[in-house]
A and B are shown apart, each in its own frame.
Chain A
């Protein structure tokens, strides 16, 4: 994962919104403009993942789990929250933000693979909020 300063004034929302949607003339609907935020579940969940762009970490993860494809990660895409790139983590029911200094690829398929990579690393780490909860409340 490369780290690079992002150009000032570059809005990740404007830079990437158009190619994230399918069957929509504009990135934002009237309804989204009205409520002032994006509706995440409008993402094209049917976008077929390009398995040629799997990161080495994801390849290892899939093999380790004994799966033949991305499995639950098919539903993971790079989104954004408050004008910053972010990935939704169902385990904490919230968005996890990508740090400003992480350079994101232009290709939406590569961005989604990066989102999956980051999310798995985060969920499997000891820093994840569920790890703390488990310590406090586990029964076994």
Chain B
């Protein structure tokens, strides 16, 4: 009778209809896999073949379609003139590519990209490179809030200052800020590395689950469950190599940067699992 009640409870909680994410899918690697270097269906582009477009009189969708068209023609280096701070430019590019914006972008620029190397001469608005998967994005000036929101991989660099909530819920990859960052940076970050060479605003790393935050300047205050940690030789080696790649330097040297990690007192989500097992069994 007790078992029956447990089973009913598990049905009531929807556990028999919802598949848990991230569990086994019984997928196996094939050792005989062919050596493809591009996604199936990706454009075969040549970095030496250049394309240009003037975005002044185009809607954002038209600009993105034009970039796609140029990639289809084999252009591996594309320059976009007069982006005019339009929103959502350069999004969803799942291709190898050199993409240069000769100006500023608006909201959600370069979101969901997987592979390209993007250079932006001006500034960017909110949520630049949101959900980025791979590649590099370098911004020469400043960026707005939610810089690199939910980024999963790749290198995202802003050489100037950025707004609030930088790297919010980041799940991998690297964010480097050459200047200062605002309030709640690294909020709920789960993995990856957030590097701030200047000062960090209040509540840094609030509710972070994992990942590392490095700060070269002053920290206004740490958020809940964010704690200081000791810099190791691995940290120094990694930071030195990465900063050199993008021509950046820590103001007081890499060795003197602050390292912030999760205190891991908020790790509650795995506690649910044994409860589920008990209920289902």
Contacts and interface: CB of A to CB of B under 8 A. Distances in A.
Interface of A: 1, 3, 31, 34-37, 39, 41-42, 45-48, 57, 60-61, 64-69, 71-72, 74-75, 81-82, 87-90, 92-99, 101-102, 118, 120-129, 131, 134, 138, 140
Given A65-B115, A94-B23, A140-B68, A126 B40 contact: yes
A41 B40 contact: no
B185 interface: no
Contacts of B47: 66
Contacts of A131: 40-41
Given A94-B22, A124-B36, A124-B38, A72 B28 contact: no
B14 interface: no
A75 B136 CA distance: 15
A94 B136 contact: no
A72 B154 contact: yes
B37 interface: yes
Report, nearest first, the 8 A-B pairs whose CB atoms are least far apart: A72-B153, A72-B134, A124-B36, A94-B25, A121-B33, A75-B172, A64-B37, A131-B40
A71 B153 contact: yes
B212 A46 contact: yes
Interface string B168-195: 0000111000000000000000111100
Interface of B: 21-31, 33-41, 47, 68, 96, 98, 115, 117, 133-136, 152-155, 172-174, 190-193, 209-212, 232, 234-235, 237-238, 241-242, 245, 267, 270-271, 273-274, 277
A99 B29 contact: yes
Given A34-B274, A46-B238, A71-B154, A65 B96 contact: yes
Contacts of B133: 72, 90
Nearest to B133: A72
Given A35-B270, A46-B235, A102 B96 contact: no
Contact of B192 (A64, A66, A75, A81): A75
Q: Indicate the member of A1, A61, A67, A97 with the most B CB atoms within 10 Å.
A: A67
B35 A121 contact: yes
B34 A64 contact: no
20 contacts: A31-B270, A45-B192, A57-B35, A71-B135, A72-B133, A72-B153, A75-B172, A89-B27, A90-B152, A90-B153, A94-B25, A96-B28, A98-B28, A99-B31, A102-B31, A121-B33, A121-B34, A126-B40, A128-B40, A134-B41
A45 B40 contact: no
B131 to A, nearest CB: 11
Contacts of A123: 39
Contact of B33 (A66, A74, A125): A125
B173 A96 contact: no
A125 B152 CA distance: 21
Contacts of B24: 81-82, 94-95
A127 to B, nearest CB: 7
A96 to B, nearest CB: 5
A95 B25 contact: yes
B95 to A, nearest CB: 10
Q: Indicate the member of B34, B36, B270 with the most A CB atoms within 10 Å.
A: B36
Contacts of B274: 34-36
Contact of B29 (A37, A45, A96): A96
B37 A41 contact: no
Nearest to B41: A134
Nearest to A118: B29
Contacts of B96: 64-66
B209 A66 contact: no
A59 B207 CA distance: 37
Nearest to A102: B31
B124 to A, nearest CB: 20
A97 B173 contact: no
A102 B31 CA distance: 8
